[in-house]
Amino acid sequence: MQTEVKNRTLQIPAKFYRIGELVHYTPLSRQTIHNYTIMGLISEAKWTEGGHRLYDESVFERLSEIIQLKKTKTLLEIRQILSKKQTATNVSPAKQTNDTVGQKASYDSHPVKPIKNRTDRFQTKTNQSKK
């Protein structure tokens, strides 16, 4: 039995981070991380059942890149640079995410929609609990 285990490679499960953990491990505030997400500079990997964003480990590399670019570029310029880089690798941010809200936050299209959806859900639950 032990021989069988030694020959297999165990797969390490992916680690996901909440915004609070990103705040702890980076010099950025909760609001900054939220704004970067809404602007499309970073994207969540998935959402919890409760509607919280979860980020994978790749977000740290992306945030490091943003911090470096921020020294000489505006957020709009950074977004354009990262967008070109994303297009060059042919990986759509929407395909990378698995959000339960069903819509990707996008600064260009409608940045308030995911938040509004979460608010509508909350109001529905609140109204149901009053009955």
Residue holding tokens 């702890």?
24
> pLDDT digit string (tens) for 103-114?
444 444 333 334
Beta carbons within 10 angstroms of residue 19's beta carbon: 20
Q: Which domains does the chain have, with CATH numbers?
A: 14-130 (1.10.1660.10)
CA atoms 61, 62, 67, 68: torsion sign: positive
> pLDDT digit string (tens) for 79-130?
999 988 888 875 544 444 444 343 444 444 333 334 444 444 445 554 555 5
pLDDT > 90: percent of the chain: 51
Which of the 8 DSSP states describes residue 28?
A: -
Amino acid making up residue 94: A
Q: Tell me how far apart the alpha carbons of residues 19 and 21 are, in angstroms, rounded to a whole number.
A: 5
Q: What is the pTM of this model?
A: 0.60
Compute the chain's Rg from CA coordinates.
Answer: 18
> pLDDT digit string (tens) for 23-49?
999 999 999 999 999 999 999 999 999
